[in-house]
């Protein structure tokens, strides 16, 4: 019989192999320098677009000042940035996890809508439950329903091979109509309203505000902790857990995963379900922390922005956190921009899109900012 | 055209891929460039074709120094590279592929496909490279595809042709034809660089041989005065044994028993046609056969990757016909897969991660729901040392390793456990002599420790050298069985059985 591992000793030759190779400069460039330059390039291009549409230079300057002030310039600005980042990061984590497992899940928007609605319904259905319990259980309801909704696409792929891009897009469209229908049901619809809108989440079901002791208008809520816990959890799941190893292996090389005895069906369904749970949590956090009720389109495209976010964060939990803060800042700052300088908020959408374009094209960024990169990184690592 | 490399040095981080290399390539001559996987052959040729720029040294063409700025400059200067992995568009015709990038265009820039076809036919007749100009690439055998690759560089008027392991993908008959082409190119005055690690080929075709080891030229010579042993020594740096040293087998109890395995393809034709045989403990059973006669499917059936239509598989006394891949693995079945890149490893993952690819869940490495990565890394380091996987760290991506080291990593992962049966499919394909010798030694060690060993290989030499018993597969059936104790099996008879000629007679 062949020798077992336990008997062998870790001698010096083996110990040498345990030296951590230093993170190469190429990695640093890829993960840090490219995104920073991408943001700068997008802002410059945004300014040029404003110029082209007849905005004068003074206003452009004013709008960028407003962008900075509105995102990080005051306590209120920071609170708004973080509040906007919470659902983006939660949903983005789910998508990033899916990407790692080789699943291109476009369905965060639908999962988020279903999760958020479930959280609202659960919360007003049990108004008798005390504070932390109702809040937590409502979050759980959101996560469970989001997971269930996403696993429909997972099961379809695992059993019939239906491509998840198609099925999740269809499930998004389906979710809009389900929501429309549900919100008109007498049990769910707010009393005395003709439009589709749900009853309100009772106080005990809401994520408490964190800064209302400073100023009752500050909207930052306890979803912040949920977001940070989720970042840590997804990091552990992907890089430390058995399931995450199978996820990553299946994403990187499905043939090798099959050879290694990993069950592709299990990976697909469980990765989709986890992603859906996180998107559902994003919806629940939005409903329980900000909106207090579900209404049609309350997701406001968060599920789609989260795709960009996951790509920007390179499907890494920490990267997604930073990307989420950036997008949150752009959103909060964009509102200020509109107020102070009268520039359309659509410009922020353009800047976000440009950032993604530049991130997706590292060679372009290298060509625009040649001094930021080592000379002989010819061809890049892409 | 003559090309000279003078003092070429190229480093990648801490690794010196080429160290002060001098090389001369002359028109009308075949230069054989020999070296192990990772010796720096490809780096050197990429410098020559302009893909990399050297850190030191210079390139001279006909005595004049040149500087290549990018990948296009090499071919511009008349140096063309034929890559080991073809770069052809499968849905384009031969002519379209040849002219791709330098298309002849008429007025208004439309593609003059008639001229393209004419040009391609002209060149192909000139050098005796027969190709069907209007056939789609995907319909052509590999040997013809390779001719198209060569035509591509000739079309771009290359005078120096670099052929990177051109025979790796060819059948023996195709190799003969290919050598004919190389000779006619030589007669036409082209300079040829023939890169390989196959010793007999380089001796047959080269006019001059240079041997590269660890980035340095370690030997040069005339093929008439050299032999395989000397070359191998120059290449590996020590004496290499070509024969597998082993004692006679001591077969024990049956380890793997297959009875009447049947597998069907989509058209309900037999892929495996009632395959029955036994692999006992302590014996190496070799499956010989021309590729595509059911060997791949046989291995998939044994290892649980594919379901069989009927039949029975017994492993160490247990019926595993319906057991999963993981169950079979846990019971002590090691599987060295046929294509390490496709399924044996994950190039982006670290060596440590690859070492536990199929055992990460085991209590040895798992702590609850987590994996104990520290323990994994330490184990991987021990395995690497034990199996001579050469790497500076186990935290590097497996894709950074040379082919031989990747395969040693896969073999280490499979054999460094309690095993009872080793299923090795093409265990040494594409490897250099040093790695082959090493892997063969470890497989025989597994046998001597009492494992049943099943080797599937399309290299008859490997089957003859390793096996105690040889089974020949043809069209999904076992058509011959030969006792090979002490290498006594008749090579010709095995070869005939592989061709389906002696069916029934040899068994």
Please give the ipTM for the structure prediction: 0.85
The pLDDT value recorded for residue A110 is: 96
pLDDT (average), residues B251-262: 93
Mean pLDDT, consecutive 10-residue stretches, chain A (382 aa), reads 51 81 67 82 88 86 89 93 96 96 94 96 93 94 97 95 94 95 91 88 92 91 96 96 95 93 93 97 96 90 92 90 92 88 81 80 80 53 32
Average pLDDT of span B32-47: 83
* Residue of A11, A237, A241, A261 to mutate when probing chain B, most B C-beta within 10 A: A261
Residue A346 resides in a domain: no
Do the beta carbons of residue B138 and residue B88 sit within 8 Å? Answer: no
Task: Give φ, ψ of B267 to 5 degrees.
Answer: -95, 15
Q: Which of A159-168, B22-31, B37-46, B85-94 has the lowest mean pLDDT?
A: B37-46
Closest CA to B454 of B424, B415, B485, B481: B424
The answer to whether residue A345 is domain-embedded is no
CB atoms within 10 A of CB A365: 25
SS3 content of chain B, % helix, strand, coil (to 5): 35, 25, 40
Q: Kindly tell me the sign of the dihedral angle through the C-alpha atoms of B435, B439, B440, B441.
A: positive
Q: Is A377 a domain residue?
A: no
Q: Is B205 helix (H, G, I), strand (E, B) or coil?
A: helix
CA distance linking residue A327 with residue A306, whole number of Å: 9
Judge contact between A147 and A280, C-beta under 8 A: yes
A290/A79 Cα distance (integer angstroms): 12
Of B151, B228, B165, residue with least CA distance to B193: B165
Task: State which residues form the domain around A155.
Answer: 87-329
The answer to whether B68 touches B59, Cβ cutoff 8 Å, is yes
pLDDT computed for residue A22 by the predictor: 60
Distances in Å between the Cα of B124 and the Cα atoms of B181, B193, B364 are: 11, 20, 60
Rounded average pLDDT over B317-340: 92
In the three-class reduction of DSSP (H, G, I as helix; E, B as strand; rest coil), residue B474 is classed as strand
The first and second tokens of residue B454, run together, are 């099943």
Name the most confidently modeled range: B21-30, B67-76, B276-285, B400-409. B276-285
Per-residue pLDDT band at B388 (split at 50, 70, 90): confident
Q: What is the pLDDT of residue B299?
A: 95
Is A143 within a domain?
Answer: yes
Residue A149 lies in a domain: yes
pLDDT digits (tens, 9 = 90+) for A196-211: 899 999 999 999 999 9
Q: What is d(CA A345, CA A46) in angstroms, rounded to the nearest whole number?
A: 12
For B3-20, the pLDDT digits (tens) are: 999 999 988 877 788 889
Chain A residues inside the 8 Å CB shell of B369:
241-243
CA nearest B314: which of B274, B277, B287? B277
The one-character DSSP state at A221 is B
Nearest chain B Cα distance for residue A315, angstroms: 15
A289 neighbors A210 (Cβ within 8 angstroms): no
Q: Is residue A193 part of a domain?
A: yes
Residue A120 lies in a domain: yes
**CB-nearest partner of A5 from B346, B349, B364:** B364
Q: What part of B 10-69 touches A (C-beta under 8 Å)?
A: 13, 53
Task: Give the pLDDT score at A311.
Answer: 87
Distance, in angstroms, between B23 CA and closest chain A CA?
24
Please check the confidence at residue B507 and state whether its pLDDT lies above 60. no
Distance CA B190, CA B182 (A): 9
Q: How far apart are CA A76 and CA A94, in angstroms?
A: 28
Number of domains in chain A: 1
Three-state secondary structure call for residue A68: helix
Q: How far apart are CA B68 and CA B49, in angstroms?
A: 8
In a domain, A62, yes or no: no
Q: What pLDDT does residue A375 have?
A: 53
Q: How far apart are the first and last CA of chain A?
A: 45
Chain B, 299 to 318: residues with Cβ < 8 Å from chain A are: 304-305
Whether the CA torsion B312, B313, B315, B316 is positive or negative: it is positive
Nearest CA to B503 among B480, B475, B481, B484? Answer: B480
Q: Which residue of chain B is at minimal alpha-carbon distance from A10? A: B382
Confidence grade of residue B233 (pLDDT, cut at 50, 70, 90): confident
Instruction: Show residues of chain A in contact with B395, CB under 8 Å.
Output: 18, 20-21
Query: Does residue B25 surpass a pLDDT of 80?
Result: yes
Mean pLDDT calculated for residue range B291-302: 90
pLDDT classification of B171: cutoffs 50, 70, 90: low
Decide: residue B468, CB within 10 A, 0-12 exposed, 13-18 middle, 19+ buried. Answer: buried
Give whole-number Cα distances, A241 to A244, A314, B366, in Å.
5, 20, 9
Q: What is the mean pLDDT of residues B173-197?
A: 87
Return the pLDDT at B223.
87
Here the tokens at position A17 are 């192999």
Interface probe with B: pick from A5, A101, A316, A380, most Cβ of B within 10 Å: A5
| Closest among B412, B402, B354, B300 to A248, alpha carbons compared | B354
Domains and CATH numbers, chain B: 3-236 (3.40.50.300), 252-332+420-507 (3.40.50.300), 340-417 (no CATH)
Q: Who contacts B292 (Cβ-Cβ below 8 Å, separation ≥6)?
A: none
Q: B358–A259: do the CB atoms touch at under 8 Å?
A: yes
Considering the entire predicted model, what is its pTM? Answer: 0.81
Q: How far is B320 from chain A (nearest CA, A)?
A: 15
Tokens of A7: 């008997």
């Amino acid at each position: 019989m062949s020798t077992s591992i336990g008997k062998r000793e870790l001698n010096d030759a083996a110990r040498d192999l345990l030296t951590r190779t230093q993170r190469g400069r190429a990695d640093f460039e890829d993960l840090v320098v490219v995104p920073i330059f991408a943001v700068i390039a997008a802002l410059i291009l945004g300014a040029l677009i404003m110029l082209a549409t007849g905005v004068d230079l003074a206003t452009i300057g004013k709008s960028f000042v407003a962008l900075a002030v509105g995102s990080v310039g005051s306590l209120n600005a920071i609170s708004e940035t973080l509040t906007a980042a919470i659902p983006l990061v939660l949903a983005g984590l789910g998508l990033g996890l899916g990407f790692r497992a080789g699943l291109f899940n476009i369905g965060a928007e639908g999962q988020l809508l279903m999760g958020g609605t479930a959280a609202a319904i659960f919360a007003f259905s049990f108004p008798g439950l005390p504070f932390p319990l109702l809040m937590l259980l409502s979050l759980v309801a959101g996560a469970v329903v989001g997971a269930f909704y996403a696993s429909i696409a997972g099961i379809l792929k695992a059993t019939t091979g239906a491509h998840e891009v198609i099925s999740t897009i269809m499930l998004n469209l389906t979710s809009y109509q389900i929501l429309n229908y549900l919100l008109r049901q007498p049990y769910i619809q707010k009393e005395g309203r003709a439009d589709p809108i749900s009853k309100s989440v009772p106080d005990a079901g809401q994520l408490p505000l964190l800064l209302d002791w400073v100023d009752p208008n500050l909207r930052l809520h306890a979803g912040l902790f949920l977001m940070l816990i989720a970042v840590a959890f997804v990091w552990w799941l992907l890089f430390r857990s058995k399931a995450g190893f199978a996820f990553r292996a299946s994403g990187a090389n499905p043939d090798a995963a099959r050879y290694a005895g990993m069950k592709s069906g299990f990976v697909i369904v469980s990765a989709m379900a986890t992603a859906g749970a996180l998107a559902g949590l994003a919806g629940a956090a939005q409903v329980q922390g900000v909106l207090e009720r579900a209404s049609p389109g309350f997701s406001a495209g968060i599920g789609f922005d989260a795709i960009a976010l996951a790509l920007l964060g390179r499907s890494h939990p920490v990267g997604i956190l930073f990307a989420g803060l950036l997008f949150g800042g752009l959103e909060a700052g964009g509102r200020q921009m509109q107020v102070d300088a009268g520039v359309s908020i659509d410009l922020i959408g353009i800047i976000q899109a440009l950032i993604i374009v530049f991130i997706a094209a590292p060679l372009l960024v290298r060509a625009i900012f040649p001094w930021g990169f080592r000379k002989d990184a010819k061809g890049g690592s892409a | 055209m003559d090309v000279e490399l003078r003092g070429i040095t190229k480093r990648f981080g801490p690794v010196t891929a080429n160290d002060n290399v001098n090389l001369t390539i002359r028109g009308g001559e075949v230069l054989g460039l020999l070296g192990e996987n990772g010796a720096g052959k490809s780096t050197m040729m990429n410098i020559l074709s302009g893909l990399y720029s050297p850190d030191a040294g210079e390139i001279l063409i006909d005595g004049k120094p040149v500087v290549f700025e990018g990948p296009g400059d090499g071919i511009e200067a008349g140096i063309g590279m034929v890559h080991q992995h073809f770069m052809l568009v499968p849905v384009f015709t031969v002519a379209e592929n040849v002219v791709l990038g330098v298309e002849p265009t008429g007025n208004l820039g439309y593609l003059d496909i008639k001229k393209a076809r004419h040009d391609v036919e002209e060149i192909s007749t000139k050098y005796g490279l027969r190709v069907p100009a209007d056939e789609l690439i995907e319909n052509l055998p590999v040997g013809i595809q390779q001719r198209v690759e060569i035509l591509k560089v000739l079309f771009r008027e290359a005078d120096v042709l670099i052929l990177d392991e051109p025979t790796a993908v060819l059948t023996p008959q195709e190799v003969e034809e290919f050598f004919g082409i190389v000779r006619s190119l030589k007669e036409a005055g082209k300079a040829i660089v023939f890169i390989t690690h196959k010793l007999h080929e380089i001796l047959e075709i080269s006019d001059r041989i240079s041997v590269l080891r660890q980035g340095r030229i370690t030997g040069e010579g005339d093929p008439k005065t050299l032999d395989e042993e000397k070359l191998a020594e120059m290449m590996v740096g020590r004496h290499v044994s070509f024969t597998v040293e082993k004692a006679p087998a001591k077969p024990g109890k049956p380890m793997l028993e297959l009875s009447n395995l049947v597998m069907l393809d989509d058209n309900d034709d037999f892929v495996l046609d009632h395959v029955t045989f036994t692999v006992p403990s302590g014996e190496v059973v070799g499956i010989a056969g021309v590729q595509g006669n059911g060997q791949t499917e046989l291995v998939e059936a044994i290892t649980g990757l594919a379901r069989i239509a009927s039949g029975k598989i017994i492993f160490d006394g247990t019926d595993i016909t319906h057991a999963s891949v993981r169950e079979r693995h846990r019971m002590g079945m090691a599987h060295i897969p046929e294509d390490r890149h496709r399924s044996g490893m994950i190039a982006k993952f670290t060596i440590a991660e690859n070492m536990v690819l199929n055992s990460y869940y085991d209590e040895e490495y798992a702590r609850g729901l987590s994996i104990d990565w520290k323990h994994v890394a330490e184990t991987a380091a021990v395995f690497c040392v034990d199996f001579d996987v050469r790497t500076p760290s186990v935290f590097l991506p497996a894709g950074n390793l040379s082919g031989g080291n990747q395969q040693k990593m896969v073999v280490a992962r499979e054999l460094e456990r309690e095993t009872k049966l080793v299923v090795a499919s093409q265990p040494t394909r594409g490897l250099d002599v040093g790695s082959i010798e090493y892997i063969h030694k470890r497989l025989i060690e597994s046998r001597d420790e009492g494992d049943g060993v099943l080797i599937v290989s399309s290299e008859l030499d490997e089957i003859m050298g390793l096996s105690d018993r040889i089974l020949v597969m043809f069209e999904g059936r076992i058509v011959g069985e030969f006792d090979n104790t002490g290498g006594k099996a008749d090579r010709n008879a095995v070869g005939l059985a592989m061709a389906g000629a002696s069916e029934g007679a040899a068994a």
